[in-house]
Structure 1
């Protein structure tokens, strides 16, 4: 199956670098992450961008066949226009449909309100202090109440990012105020000239201060200059205020990405 969506191309790029397996079944792809069974989007099914190939299939049964132990559901729908035709039954079965903007930049500019005193730098994830700082930002931005095992899941995610750092495939970045990390994000590439942002988070009590824009801009410079990327990709919720931050430094929407997911009961 040829993947047309830049969003899913970069999703799969990152997942392969992380050690996930991607199987081609003609009208769908299966992503498996046996090392992380609780990682929903590392254990998913990506449907073809051809509506005719999606309509009439029992995708719930397809997912169970490929992921018999999974309690969650995670479906990507390939394409660039946000077309979810053929997925109506999944919605009726309780999957939540998410429509995201896939944004790109081949150059960036400073945000209109850069934080004047933020210290932005790549973290060293072999240093437990940097790992703890990154985890603290992600935890405070997690769902409330925190699901059982969520902290352990984030620890495993950071372990995976450390391996990517050591292999030269990316870095995690932090924006610090007074020595405390207030905002964080990841940037990953396979060396093909495309780099993908991951998990842009800012502590709730530090939002609206220009930290995210300052850090996104800093990471972009690293991506171009050190990772030798020619294009940066970020996927954003069109209803979230963060999308205006990405636009302010030069990102523009180029396509829509469709995903459906259902949490475990």
Structure 2
């Protein structure tokens, strides 16, 4: 399982239009425009101050019915194998986080990636798209990722439910220098480790991330998550037991305990797991994927 590999790696890992047979998608969710093109004066001013306007425009934290999401999140959490005997028949979730799925759908993040051939993938990478790999169990899941329903992974390490992939550390990170960046072969090998017993190379998906996807790192995202949860706790302290508002706040806190759900509700395409070659993605449409 990917999170288990991350646990091992945390202790040792330190150290475009017209390029693909027609235009690559600009990103269907407002990926950053060229500086000064189509931007308002306020957006340009925010950029100068280090603020990406998409972090404001995409944030839907206050837009959800958390009581509904709570029921889906609880159904997912109760489907853990260790608790399966205590679950009512029909309530289990075989795979994928249904609460996260609802958030991704509301954000438009659950659409398919753009499929390209090997030559198209090479042109994308040469044009600045970041090469990544994902390993899954079985060829059907490979096909599903490319053209089927989006199935997110279960996290058991506190680093978030989502689409776990292997990729190089971002250039702005402490591990982003060329001498520390993994080779394609090394990333593919990590992905193949996730394909089940026997290491099935057909379970490896090669992809590339849009060069201007809205990404962050886990440490930064978790800090924002903690601030949100503290804010909820403050409000809870003001609400009497049994009030409708208290029920809503408790549901909101429960749903946002998962950093992947929090990141998706905040509008991020994905985030890097600090100090490792692992990423968690929430928006499948920021990828080109090799057929």
Is the pair's TM-score, using the shorter chain for normalization, greater than 0.5?
no
Q: TM-score, normalised by structure 2?
A: 0.24
Specify the structure having the higher radius of gyration (Cα): 2
The structure with more strand, counted as a fraction of residues: 1
The structure with more helix, counted as a fraction of residues: 2
